[in-house]
Amino acid sequence: MEYILLVEDDKQLSFITKRMLESKGYGVTTAFSIRQAKAELEKREFDLILLDMMLPDGEGSRMCEEIREFSVCPIIFVSCLSDQETKIAALKMGGDDYVTKPVNYEELLARIEVNIRRAKQYSEKKVQEEEMNFPGLCVKKKMREAWTTNEKGEVVELLELSPLEYGLLICLIENKEELVLYQDLFRQVWQTEDASDVRTVMVHVSNLRKKMGECGKLIHTVRSAGYIFKE
């Protein structure tokens, strides 16, 4: 279930919107002021925030700016202000979308779905960029680290890899399910066109496998050709 924080000082409109969203399967928490909204944000994370522009204790756009200091949660402004200047200012403060009152609930639902879906895709992509997980192995590319993991995916041990060994591992992973020739590994990792001594590659891959332990079997040998990284 996705959870939405509804920040709206009109209690009747808040009630109607909350009931509509709940009927569509969303979990909804209501707040009628910036102070209440901040208190709710301290309690839990939300998948999306619906934020009124004019609230009793301040402007929604200012709150949006503050939220952006610690969260990338999608924010949709819902306001009676329809002028272009206000909309542009709200988006510049960090808003993802803007809906004017009176609210067309079909349009609002569509915008909610699109923004939540986009946020999930961004989050998944970010995780993929930061971590690459395989049976028994986790690689954190930006940190240049690799770990062995147990059956639950929990970290067991940091692999003490040399820069060359790490380079070989990344090269094979980036070409997952494809044959990488000895010569190509030599050129890409050693960054030289002189790829005559493929035995150097073979020795380093052998050392890499040993350090990887059981997950070394992810690197498959294609005799007289090269290697394939596959699960």
53-112 confidence digits (pLDDT tens): 999 999 999 999 999 888 889 999 999 998 988 998 888 888 999 999 999 999 999 999
Question: Which of 98, 31, 90, 96 is closest to 61 using CA atoms?
Answer: 90
**pLDDT reading at 52 higher than 90:** yes
What pLDDT does residue 12 have? Answer: 96
What pLDDT does residue 131 have? Answer: 77
3-state secondary structure 40-69: HHHHCCCCEEEECCEECCEEHHHHHHHHCC
> Is 80:8 a contact under the CB 8 Å cutoff?
no
**pLDDT reading at 20 higher than 60:** yes
Specify the CATH architecture of the domain 3-128: 3-Layer(aba) Sandwich (3.40)
Question: Which of 141, 161, 153 is closest to 213 using CA atoms?
Answer: 161
Q: 184-190: long-range contacts (C-beta < 8 A, 24 or more apart)?
A: 184/226, 185/226, 185/227, 189/164, 190/164
CA-CA-CA-CA dihedral for 153, 214, 167, 121, to nearest 10: -20
Could you tell me where the DSSP H helices lie in 131-224?
163-174, 182-190, 199-212
**pLDDT tens-digit map of 144-177:** 889 999 887 777 889 988 888 898 999 999 899 9
**pLDDT tens-digit map of 113-146:** 999 988 887 666 555 556 788 999 999 877 788 9
What pLDDT does residue 15 have? Answer: 97
Domain ranges of the chain: 3-128, 133-229
**pLDDT tens-digit map of 199-221:** 888 889 999 999 999 999 999 99
Its CATH class, for the domain covering 133-229, is: mainly alpha
What pLDDT does residue 128 have? Answer: 56
With tokens 């066109």, the residue in question is 193
